[in-house]
Amino acid sequence: MKRVLAVGGSDSGGGAGIQADVKTLHALGVHASTVVTAVTAQSSTAVLDVHDVPLDSIRAQLAAVLDDLGADVVKTGMLSTAGAVLAVVEALGGRPLVVDPVGVSSTGRSLLSPAALELLRTRLLPLATVVTPNLAEVAALTGLHVDREDQLEDAARAVHALGPQWVLITGGHLPGNPTDLLYDGKQTVLLEGDRISTDHTHGTGCTLASALAGYLALGDDVLTATRHAKAFVTDAIRRGYPLGAGPGPVRP
């Protein structure tokens, strides 16, 4: 069985974070191992508390999984401290890496310290096979603010300059049908999608990135994996459901 190691924060509401990663990878028939970097107290309307897991525990989790179970692909989400970023960098060992540069929760809470952001930018992104920033994360990484579709390529170039092999800019927050842009420094591919009329989109970014990691583990090249992951997350959004007072989760 193919294996993906998901490294990130736990969402107590079950809609995003490690929980979304595990649900997505299970749906793809891929074994999901996990390293929890932070524990959040999270409802459908807010992140109420964040507890960063001690660095020794993060390192121990990484060693326990990688030394015994192994991983075909590593996927990272919430790496809220500088130590968490460095622990992943030190443990990767050249494995394919999908980075979801989670910086702000969907409810607006900052999830990334300034020191962690700098190390993510300078140490982790140069190791990434694919990085999957949304527009807010593009701004955090590069200072570039995107509010039109014709700016997506500029955003991709700016992120690519930080060192990843491929950049997938997710444009779902722009008006109109959601268009993502995939870029490897040479080719630019626009990935158009359908706008689903729903409020239940919690976990979209985590689901997309973990699906991309899963398809890479199953043997897809980056472009094919990206197309499959976009179709997967579109279906998950279409089947999202109400839960709590805020936006409900997508259903991988």
Mean per-residue pLDDT, 120-137: 96
Q: Between 145 and 108, whose confidence is greater?
A: 145
Above 80 in pLDDT, residue 107? no
Does residue 189 sit within a domain? yes
Residue-wise pLDDT tens digits, 8-19? 999 999 999 999
Mean per-residue pLDDT, 63-87: 97
- DSSP per residue over 167-215, as a string? EEEB-TTSSSS-EEEEE-SS-EEEEE-PPP--S--BTHHHHHHHHHHHH
Does residue 20 sit within a domain? yes
Does residue 245 sit within a domain? no
pTM listed for this prediction: 0.96
Q: Given this model, what pLDDT does residue 104 score?
A: 57
Q: How many domains does the chain have?
A: 1
Does residue 244 sit within a domain? no
| Structural domain of 64 | 3-238
Does residue 164 sit within a domain? yes
* CATH classification of the domain holding 198: 3.40.1190.20
Does residue 243 sit within a domain? no
Does residue 174 sit within a domain? yes
Q: DSSP H helical segments within the chain, as ranges?
A: 17-27, 55-64, 82-91, 114-119, 135-142, 152-160, 204-217, 222-238
